[in-house]
Structure 1
Amino acid sequence: MDSATHTERKPAGGTRPRPPRSFWGSTLGKKTVMAVSGLIMLGYLVAHVAGNLKVFFGPEEFNAYGHWLRTMGAPVLHHEWALWIVRIGLLAAVVAHAVSAYQLSRRDIRARPTGYVHQRRRASYATRTMRWGGVIIALFIVWHILDLTTLTVNENAEPGKPYENVVATFSTWYGNVIYLTAMLAVGLHIRHGFWSAAQTLGAGSARRDRALKAVANGLALVLTTGFVAVPVGVMTGVVS
């Protein structure tokens, strides 16, 4: 048989047309996944800081809150089932956020393989520290789980006593340093991340930009202050 019959015809120009990218494969798709997962985590942080602030109402109320987290959904759901559903959903959001952020970063590097000729600041401090902030937050999540969930690194922790465990954590200098550093990184991440998510999801406009920036700054300030209040309360003796 003539070999010419097996020769694949190429379109004019000598190059094959690229197949359309999937939603996940596109830059917009990754940015959308990053934005939605970020908003899911933001919602969790709002709920989390509200629960944390119960520590100022004393051990009985805070320990009751800790007990409720493990029994919420009862009697429909078994003990800790709802809590594990939340944990799995949050883990999926964290993984999706981290993977999309990493792949977008690599794609950005490939798009401009050579450095800029004129070095100058191209973004705010929060923008320039987003990557390192993400690393700090990821490491903190591991520490936080080992500290107050599994009680592995909390030397004075007692199972079933969340109030006492919080006091034990923030009675150490290293516990305070780790937590305060991570919360500052969280604040910067929220400030820039909320703004970026709003732009990606089409909420930004010339009229709304100022309001969105104000909301981003307000969320970052309120959440950071709320989280930082707990270790400061322990250090000052307000929580003991």
Structure 2
Amino acid sequence: MATTTLTPHQSAVRSTVALKALMAVTGLLMIGFLLMHMFGNSKMFLGEESFNHYAEWLKVEMLYPLLPKGWFIWIFRAVMVAAIVLHIYSAVTLWRRAKLASPTTYEAKRRLAQTYSARTMRWGGIILAGLLIFHLAQFTVHATLVAGPYTGSPYQMVLSEFRIWWMVALYALWMVTVCMHIRHGFWSAFATLGANTSPKAQVVLNACAWAVAILLYIGFMVMPVAVFFGWIGR
């Protein structure tokens, strides 16, 4: 049986396509996580008992008895860490390849000119990674809490942190970066996976990308703002 030997160019093209698909799938996985996280944050509006119960259920009871207590959260964290690592790896590798290509003609450079969100994806990703580490250290590990030590109540911890004005401001700036990244990433992911099939599909895809980004920004900011102004936890 004859075998087909790929040229270096063909191998590079296939590798690039695979990396783009990997970045698209991991990016959509993280967007799904953010939507779930946004829903969880909204439990703050239902009061301390409801929010604390949700936090405990998520960390201990979710998928029990299908899984032993407490297993789901660690499996979920492992999957998300893998998604983030693979997403960053794909992005860095593709960026390096694009840089090595170094288009010099005006037309080639014009084709690369995209939206502001697209042009800032790389540095936006770096900012996101740094703030994500701080956010996890703050609300998951409780190592960077700024309002005082953790008292054992997730509800009270969130209230204490978001009653500080600069924490709300930092969170708002972070979410601007997140949503800029998501707006372009959502569009790019579905385009990579074959959804950008016509001018009409492009318009619909772009509208969906904006809708998801705006929904996430409002959904994530409404709770910190409500805490800061005393509408939650009076």
Query: TM-score band, normalised by the shorter chain?
Result: 0.7 to 0.9
Q: Tell me the CA shift for residue 113 of structure 1.
A: 6.7
Partner of 1:59: 48
Q: Distance in 2 between matches of 1:137 and 1:53?
A: 22
Tell me which protein shows more helix as a share of its residues. 2
1:162-220 deviations in Å (ceiling 9; x for gaps): 11111111122332232111111111111100110111000112131111111111000
Partner of 2:29: 40
The alignment's C-alpha RMSD in Å is 2.4
Q: Tell me the CA shift for residue 27 of structure 1.
A: 1.0
**Mind listing any 5+ residue stretches in structure 1 that lack a counterpart?**
1-15
Q: Tell me the CA shift for residue 126 of structure 1.
A: 1.1
Q: Tell me the CA shift for residue 78 of structure 1.
A: 2.6
Q: Distance in 1 between matches of 2:43 and 2:88?
A: 30
Partner letter of residue 77 of structure 2? R
Correspondence 1:163 to 2:162: no
Correspondence 1:148 to 2:155: no
**Mind listing any 5+ residue stretches in structure 2 that lack a counterpart?**
1-5
Q: Distance in 2 between matches of 1:118 and 1:98?
A: 25
Tell me, what secondary structure is at the counterpart of 1:150?
Answer: coil
Q: Tell me the CA shift for residue 115 of structure 1.
A: 8.9
Corresponding residue pairs, total: 224
Q: Aligned to 2:201, which of 200, 208, 226? A: 208
Partner of 1:107: 97
* Aligned ranges 1:43-192 → 2 under 5 Å: 43-70=32-59, 71-112=61-102, 122-154=113-145, 155-192=147-184
Q: Tell me the CA shift for residue 117 of structure 1.
A: 10
CA change 1:118–1:33 in 2 (3 A) is closer
CA change 1:107–1:54 in 2 (3 A) is same
CA change 1:129–1:96 in 2 (3 A) is same
Q: Which moved more, 1:166-175 or 1:39-48?
A: 166-175
CA change 1:115–1:236 in 2 (3 A) is farther
Aligned-pair identity in percent equals 40
Residues 27 and 189 of structure 2 are in contact (CA less than 8 Å); yes or no, is this contact kept in structure 1?
Answer: yes
Partner letter of residue 63 of structure 1? N
Q: Tell me the CA shift for residue 157 of structure 1.
A: 4.1
CA change 1:126–1:18 in 2 (3 A) is closer
Q: Runs (4+) of structure 1 moved beyond 3 Å? A: 16-20, 113-121
Q: Distance in 2 between matches of 1:89 and 1:115?
A: 42
Query: Max radius of gyration: which structure?
Result: 1
Tell me, what secondary structure is at the counterpart of 2:34?
Answer: helix
CA change 1:68–1:131 in 2 (3 A) is same
Q: Tell me the CA shift for residue 161 of structure 1.
A: 1.0
Partner letter of residue 78 of structure 1? P
Tell me, what secondary structure is at the counterpart of 2:8?
Answer: coil
CA change 1:115–1:140 in 2 (3 A) is farther
CA change 1:134–1:75 in 2 (3 A) is same
Q: Which moved more, 1:127-136 or 1:184-193?
A: 127-136
Q: Distance in 1 between matches of 2:136 and 2:105?
A: 39
